[in-house]
Chain A
């Protein structure tokens, strides 16, 4: 028995399941007609290439929108980058990548995250449509043999089908060969036209199977061959709004295929390049001209920005139209751009409503219809057909499909129904009277003509709407164009000027407005306007001064007006105005200006050049050398006279006599030495007539007077031909200087008497010059010496000549001028935000409970970095605990810093319970505990674990993170609350001694909370980190093996009841093979809401939806099993490997602690997730793969959900939040909307509870109102959580099964409610009259009809106790389902 009489599962009906299987093959017939056989063997190949381009572009447009939707600085920069500057480049890049991905994966929806199955379903729908001849405008279909390369393919396909039919080929071979043939065909088409043959769909396998079935039933191969036919078509896939975009792209593609090159001629190009280059060089002299040029360009930039915006608005309209046509809904909340575009959307009707109305028409036509009904059917038919035709013809969407991937199937359904109704209608009107037909509006009994007439009217109405909407659009476009032109102008100029200043600040070649001018620079436009200092122009003055010698190596030629000033030994160069040009003028060793001087002068625009002057210097070098007399004679030949002795005046006698003996010593007393020490010979004693030979005679006195008499000194006998001539004075003395050579070498003073050491001293008559230039002489007297001259100290004098260079440096002064001013570039860089995100039909916004939600590119990027690499590499891998937790430790250090990890480690060290974790630990129950408010609950919550089976208690550690906001915890009252709580924890330890309770404490600041939007994420991260790092420590310290697995069970601190064996069941569910996490059932306050049956009913629905997700997904419905805070378990290895719940400090509010976990796990484990798609994109960026198949892994389906439901693991959680909502008329689905707004960590659960709480009494007078309120609550749950209508239907059936036979007069199986699915796909329900009465009964009475209010019933069933004043005559269950908390 269930709480409100829910039927057991096995009687649940399957109506909610939607059939998705294709129509079955016709039943086997022994004798197929030719026509039937031909129909079954009609092969079809369809080229879907057109869809490849549009899908690729759609996905890239959405990518740009996604990038430019982001807020904050990063978002702003992204909007400039993606939204403006490189928008086109990125759009092209993304389109190229998307196209590549679609082709490689052979999945039309790959770029938008669609699965291969969705592609296959769509492709199948298209092929069927073509096979059934539902060809739309712009499509074609012809015999395959008539296409290029088609006849070869047809022949090959026919052969293939026949071989398969006759059993020569098996299924695998058929598939392989078919793929090979079509790939080849596609390639050959692409070679001729690269826009075709990219993606083909076909029904060859189906045809082959039909052929085999026919063969097996006796149809011959020849007949099969005859019946086989193949056609090839080109399809227009997807929605229709795409014309303009394709035209521009098409034109550009065509241009690229020509040899045209530039669209503008040479003249235009030259002008344009000239303007651009001048702007690019950015140099004009006049600042005002630069500014004017900037402004001029700004106007141009503004105009072009406006043009660009015009195009973009048009593109956005197309994109919006396409997305709306694919079923996306307008988002809730403000979406201004979307709303503006929505106003320009052509009126479109949901395909589903057209299908529904045509289905109803088809059904109606099976029976009798009156003229009004006929007219209605015709109108509906016309309406549907007109919309289809106009969509095709005008490339606009007048039909809105349910979803992107379902377009083709719905299109097929619509086409079939149109045909079906048309045929049925035609059949219906045959034989009907003309008057009746006229009354029904038929034209001459023809359905087609009648429809044509109505269609025209419909088309006119629709065209009027088109005109109206186009007019609205043009106005929007005009406004946006003008606005963007202004923005473009202003921003272009402003940003250009600003960027120029930025560049000047970091560049040495430009003067900014705040800088001084330097030669060689250009200046910014602003600097040009505000600064007037001049700089060297590069040219120099020509006037110079005369060269000025600086030193022997250097001279300078200075500019006129300048001079060198020597100060303390250093030179300064002073200018004409008296200002110092350079405080240092220095020279290097070679006489050139040194580098410092060069730098200073060059920096001020001075030029300098050097000339080299060559010159020589000589000097004498004197040395004293002691040389023999002969050497001296050799070295000094000039001192010696070459002589020739003519004769001796021998007085005609052979002996020396008369004057021959009269060469006496002179000097003091005739000793041959005078008073100065010089040596003296004397001839004064000679007589006249004392010197003759033959008839020759010499008068010595006369000779002396005529200066023809000298003393000839011969050094030695061998050299007597060269003598030293010593003149004789009038006194007859010949004085030989004692220091002369003769004096030194030929004489000596011995005892004051001269001694002659030469060979001969001869008194001679100089008679003339001989033939050879020698001096001829006649000897009057001879004094002989020893002939042994002394050595002489000769003084050798060398004259040395040296070559020198002198550097003459000429300095040229610069001619000063203004800096050239750069024209500020006009860069139309403005931030352009993308369109707001639309809501997928039936989907909640990301983060909501019941759908996956979509991660932003930033979240994906973050998660890629926060996931264990080996898990990213192989999503199916089993993660080792040791590897994961060790890796997580390093990740936590990287993200939060070493200090944080040390702090966590310290808290582990301080906890004996955490230090004792080991291989015998199977579970850690992790509970965040609000330190300032949970003192009253904590003991009772802990008691639930203390009452668990002993073996589970032994292998479990309960880990509490007692936390509070730092600023609020400083008061004594606050501290007392924390102490009270800790005291309660201690009480629990004492009451349940086997229970290991570990306590860590942490605080968070108000700033942290505000930054992240809440505190629960912070608190839970710390909680999980403590658990993970405690496990890591245990492994490293040898207490736990690296392969040990344990579960972390996340619960809340306010539980009122728990399943028996909860820990064991949850742990068992989590640690199953292939499972990463498990979710247990939540019941909301069984005891607390016992007096509120309406609330209990709504809560039961909510509880059921939570855990029925598994069942729903098994039926193919979209449903999630959300990991929620009160009752979720996860493997510690998985928790660590997926980076726990992330590290983003900007995102710590409600949902980040629990829902986030399931999202992260699924994102990593599912190979088709956006995470893996992005990873693939990053790894394979830029690599062309051509036709190669995608690596295994992507596109695989059938992957099990890594999150399961743990049966029998129920927690009875505090319902206060939900009760508060209910009591205040708010939907319970909004219970956590303001969770993060509490003063403490979160809004207190009792915030909305009234002080006095009254029960919800149900009486005959108020039960309708109560049930109406229950309807409201449940409908809000369905809509607010975005629950798949089929899932909602399933759960409604469980909650409110049909009336039983006899129940309140029912004959059985009567529905208690009606449900409607609106155009948005949301289901709403309401009780029928019977339903209300049955519900009233069920709420107040049990199945036996006894008065037994639901609340009491629930308490009794779950807790095995009565709720007074209910009678004890109603038996208690043998075992209660739950254990109750102990106070």
Chain B
């Protein structure tokens, strides 16, 4: 994976900035109604989150997946615990996440990617 330290150090870019850029790259007009744009951003963010999660889940082997299911059953709304499980059991999560985000971008933009 790219070790663009300078870029990471220069700013931890947030998801919403990425989404905004994505919308811009897809040709969404700046004149769009603010409320609509906001909704669009939220929907896209939710979709990206789901997509990312799917890739993370798919990367797990059976044993890990079974354990993960138990964690969810027991700690359904405790995001911290669930994320901790991921940290401890999915070593290459950054790589998976970055690739998923790129893949999502490619999917979303189609031939504009």
Contact = CB atoms under 8 A, between A and B. Distances in A.
Interface of A: 85-86, 88-89, 244, 247-248, 250-252, 254-265, 268-281, 284, 293, 296-297, 299-301, 303-304, 307-308, 311, 499, 823, 825-828
A86 B107 contact: yes
16 contacts: A85-B107, A89-B107, A248-B58, A251-B72, A252-B50, A259-B77, A262-B49, A264-B52, A264-B56, A270-B13, A273-B13, A273-B98, A274-B11, A284-B4, A304-B55, A825-B102
B21 to A, nearest CB: 7
Nearest to B97: A272
A1126 B28 CA distance: 62
B106 interface: yes
B19 to A, nearest CB: 10
B43 interface: no
Contacts of A293: 2, 4
A273 B101 contact: yes
Contact of B66 (A247, A254, A269): A247
Contact of B62 (A244, A250, A303): A244
A274 B96 contact: no
Contacts of B50: 252, 256
Given A273-B13, A274-B13, A277-B17, 20 more contacts: A250-B69, A251-B69, A252-B50, A254-B73, A255-B72, A258-B82, A260-B76, A262-B52, A263-B57, A273-B98, A274-B4, A276-B101, A293-B2, A300-B95, A304-B95, A825-B102, A825-B113, A827-B106, A827-B113, A828-B103
Contacts of A301: 99
Contacts of B73: 254
Contacts of B87: 265, 268
A270 B12 contact: yes
A252 B95 CA distance: 20
B21 A264 contact: no
Contacts of A261: 49, 79
Contacts of B3: 296
A265 B83 contact: yes
B76 A826 contact: no
B35 to A, nearest CB: 22
A275 B57 CA distance: 21
Contacts of A252: 50, 53-54, 57
Contact of B76 (A258, A499, A825): A258
Interface in B13-35: 13-15, 17-18, 21-22, 25
B7 A276 contact: no
A254 B74 CA distance: 11
Given A263-B82, A272-B97, A297 B106 contact: no
Nearest to B5: A274
A275 B53 contact: no
Q: Chain B interface secondary structure, helix, strand, loop or mixed?
A: helix
Contact of B72 (A254, A269, A281): A254
A275 B11 CA distance: 11
A662 B82 CA distance: 134
B65 interface: yes
- 4 cross-chain pairs, A with B, having the tightest CB-CB distances, nearest first: A272-B97, A270-B12, A276-B101, A272-B98
Contact of B15 (A273, A284, A827): A273
Q: Chain A interface secondary structure, helix, strand, loop or mixed?
A: helix
Interface centre among A263, A268, A499 (most CB of B within 10 A): A263
Interface size class of B (residues with CB under 8 A): 35 or more
B14 to A, nearest CB: 7
Contact of B97 (A85, A269, A284): A269
A264 B96 CA distance: 10
Nearest to A305: B99
B58 A280 contact: no
Contact of A257 (B15, B76, B113): B76
A303 B22 CA distance: 25
Nearest to B58: A311
Interface centre among A254, A269, A284, A300 (most CB of B within 10 A): A269
Nearest to A256: B50
Nearest to A823: B2
Given A265-B83, A823-B2, A826-B102, A247 B65 contact: yes
Nearest to B11: A274
A272 B94 contact: yes
Contacts of A244: 62
B8 interface: yes
Nearest to A260: B79
Given A251-B65, A301-B99, A268 B94 contact: yes
A296 B107 contact: no
Contacts of A825: 102, 106, 113
Contact of B57 (A248, A272, A308, A499): A248
Interface centre among B17, B18, B72, B98 (most CB of A within 10 A): B98
Contacts of B25: 280
B56 A263 contact: yes
A291 to B, nearest CB: 11
A1190 B37 CA distance: 37
A969 B87 CA distance: 77
A304 B113 contact: no
A247 B69 contact: yes
A259 B79 CA distance: 7
Given A274-B11, A300-B95, A827-B113, A260 B69 contact: no
Contacts of B21: 277, 280-281
A300 B1 contact: yes
Contacts of A296: 1-3
Interface centre among B11, B13, B100 (most CB of A within 10 A): B13
A536 B54 CA distance: 44
A274 B8 contact: yes
Contacts of B56: 263-264
A265 B81 CA distance: 10
A849 to B, nearest CB: 45
B96 A304 contact: yes
Contacts of B107: 85-86, 89
Interface string B80-98: 0011001100001111111
Given A255-B72, A258-B77, A260-B82, A275 B65 contact: no
Contacts of A85: 106-107
Contact of A271 (B94, B99, B102, B105): B94
A193 to B, nearest CB: 15
B108 to A, nearest CB: 11
A251 B96 CA distance: 18
A279 B2 contact: yes
Contacts of A272: 94, 97-98, 100-101
Contacts of B1: 275, 296-297, 299-300
A1180 B55 CA distance: 31
Nearest to A293: B2
Contacts of A255: 53, 57, 72
A1108 to B, nearest CB: 53
A293 B5 CA distance: 12
Contacts of B103: 828
A276 B97 CA distance: 9
Contacts of B18: 273, 276-277, 280
A472 to B, nearest CB: 17
Interface in B38-74: 49-50, 52-59, 62, 65-66, 68-69, 72-73
A86 B51 CA distance: 12
Contacts of A264: 52, 56, 83, 86, 93-94, 97
Contacts of A304: 55, 59, 95-96, 99
A924 B95 CA distance: 71
